[in-house]
Amino acid sequence: MISRRGFLKSTASFLLGSQFVLPAYARSSVKSFKSDPFKLGVASGSPLPDSVVLWTRLAPNPLQGGGLDPEPIKVKWEVARDESFHKIVKKGEATASPQYAHSVHAEVEGLEPGHSYWYRFFAGDAVSPKGQTRTAPARDSINPLRFSFASCQMFEQGYYTAHRHMAQEDLDLVVFLGDYIYEHSWGNNHVRKHEGPEVYTLDQYRNRYACYKGDADLQACHARFPWIVTWDDHEVDNDYANDLAEDLEANFLVRRAAAYQAFYEHMPLRQSCAPHNGAMKIYQAFDFGRMARFHVLDDRQYRDHEVGPKPGRAGSNYINDCAERKDPKRTILGWEQEKWLAKSLKDSHATWDVITQQTLMAQSRRFGGKFWTDGWDGYPAARRRLLEAVSNRPSTDTIVIGGDIHSYAVADLKLDFDKPNSPTVATEFCGTSISSEGPPNVEVKEFYKNNPHVKYANSAYRGYVRVALSKAKADVSLRSIDSEKIANSNIKDLEKFVVKKGRPGAEKA
């Protein structure tokens, strides 16, 4: 990959676009824009050994629906080996359709495995910022892999300083685990404001994504690395479960369909993930040679409703144990996805299997031993089935990554959490939020005491997690910024851990 200095220099160079001369093939369908149509930046994702998705959205007036007439627009793209685009290896054309808010999902094929590339788009007389991406390694390779994962970026509650620092890391990949946007306003000490009130319609969700994606630090991180993404609840509605909203609103599936479409429109997803009849299939696996397989899960769309809700509500609650919570028929992933995951794990030949999901998987007794029903504790039988699928494999080198709880957590995953001496079958790392405020750290410390399989927990800091995988071990750094309220905040390693091959469970590095 290119150096940090080289990337930042070349990213800045796109600001000279007024002096840039379009190649002849990019001028074949010239359309003049009154304002820059690439204000939401560029992104790439869903990397395969020979292919990657390139994303952008034409939106000269992003916070007002995009500002374009409802007609398709031809968009050119090109991919090069060098940042100056002297060595172009692929070029093509895509249609930015009004059906998908003039977004582009160009699936570029025929690339070389494990290679870095530069890309950009042309629309009429406009040129996009440059982006860098990277294909996955060849399927039989076993090269070291460096990635980071993050979640929960409430726009109003903090600056995206963590993304700024992440963009300067030496990574192959970024994994985002949900709550990319927040559908409503909440929390204290806001540093900036949403573009409007709580969102319900497709147009409103589009404007909310435009609000978030207009952030320069988020754009820089997207332009620096390919991303793998999944969602959680706030891309739709807090604590929703399948077809049920937290406040039991009527016609919720209409709202959910709008939210799903807006998610697709703004993420570097393949066209196979496009919404159909109000649903989207986003669970999938990504192989990075024989070093890692990412099993990317969806724990919202297919789950059973939460047990023990508050009167007149749905969604999360803190409850004492009950038979309904432990019902073996309950599922958080849906039965089809559970079967898919078991097969994906069984078929994997990776050194490390990375189960990529939304929240804390480890059992976590809180507030006098109560269970939080919106997470895996509300579905313990489904969790046990997943961990049995892990333990039935010849390899024990499985890492679970999660977010959602706005706290760092490191845990040993066991088939029986109530028996501290039971074998550890996988290792969990849960990341804090990018900017969303966390629970009081005193509560997290109490939860830490009540769950001996939890090796570390801290909610005082915002940031992300960096992981370096090799044949022998996984090195994990909990990266934290000083304050999300300060745009130029510094970053540090809060804690470091290592997981050694064949020895599940994290150790302090």
pLDDT in tens, 249-280: 999 999 999 999 999 999 999 999 999 999 99
Q: Which among 265, 267, 244, 268 is positioned nearest to 256, based on CA atoms?
A: 244
pLDDT value for 322? 95
Q: Which among 319, 295, 311 is positioned nearest to 401, based on CA atoms?
A: 295
Rounded Cα distance, 296 and 293, in Å: 9
pLDDT value for 251? 95
Q: Which residue has the tokens 């059906």?
A: 99
**Token digits of residue 223:** 């332009």
DSSP annotation of 102 reads T
Which 3 state secondary structure label does DSSP give 507? strand
What percent of the chain lies above the pLDDT cut of 90?
89
- Find the helix or strand (DSSP H, E) in which 175 lies: strand 173-176
> Could you tell me whether strands 491-500 and 503-508 are parallel, antiparallel, or unpaired per DSSP bridges?
antiparallel
Rounded Cα distance, 30 and 98, in Å: 18
DSSP characters for 265-320? Answer: HHS---GGGS-BTTB----EEEEETTTEEEEE--SSSSPPPPSSPPTT--S--EE-
Count of beta carbons in the 10 Å neighbourhood of residue 485: 16
Query: pTM, whole model, 2 decimals?
Result: 0.94
Q: Tell me the helix, strand and coil percentages in the chain, rounded to 5.
A: 20, 30, 50
Which 3 state secondary structure label does DSSP give 422? coil
Between 450 and 171, residue with greater pLDDT: 171
- Who's near 246: CB < 8 A, 6+ residues apart? 237, 238, 239, 240, 313, 314, 315
For 58-162, list the strands marked E by DSSP: 73-80, 88-96, 103-109, 116-123, 126-127, 131-134, 145-150
| pLDDT-derived band at 195, boundaries 50, 70, 90 | very high
Is it the case that residue 63 has pLDDT exceeding 90? yes
Between 147 and 7, residue with greater pLDDT: 147
Rounded Cα distance, 128 and 277, in Å: 32
Report the range of poorest mean pLDDT among 6-10, 59-63, 164-168.
6-10
pLDDT value for 22? 52
> Could you tell me whether strands 424-430 and 398-402 are parallel, antiparallel, or unpaired per DSSP bridges?
parallel
**Amino acid found at 311:** P
Is it the case that residue 132 has pLDDT exceeding 80? yes
**Token digits of residue 374:** 């919106």
Q: Would you give the distance in Å from CA 208 to the centre of its chain?
A: 17
pLDDT value for 395? 67
pLDDT value for 23? 55
**Token digits of residue 429:** 């790392």
- Sort 42 into a burial class: Cβ within 10 Å, 0-12 / 13-18 / 19+: buried
DSSP annotation of 351 reads S
Rounded Cα distance, 223 and 106, in Å: 15
Rounded Cα distance, 162 and 485, in Å: 11
pLDDT value for 60? 97
User: What is the mean predicted confidence (pLDDT) over 124-133?
Assistant: 97
Report the range of poorest mean pLDDT among 39-53, 295-309, 431-445, 494-508.
431-445
Residue 218 · residue 40 · CB < 8 Å: no
Enumerate the domain spans of the chain: 4-134, 145-508
DSSP H stretches of helix in 214-275: 216-224, 252-266
Fold of the domain spanning 145-508? Purple Acid Phosphatase; chain A, domain 2 (3.60.21)
Q: Which among 48, 41, 24 is positioned nearest to 287, based on CA atoms?
A: 48
Looking at domain 4-134, what is its CATH homologous superfamily?
A: Purple acid phosphatase-like, N-terminal (2.60.40.380)
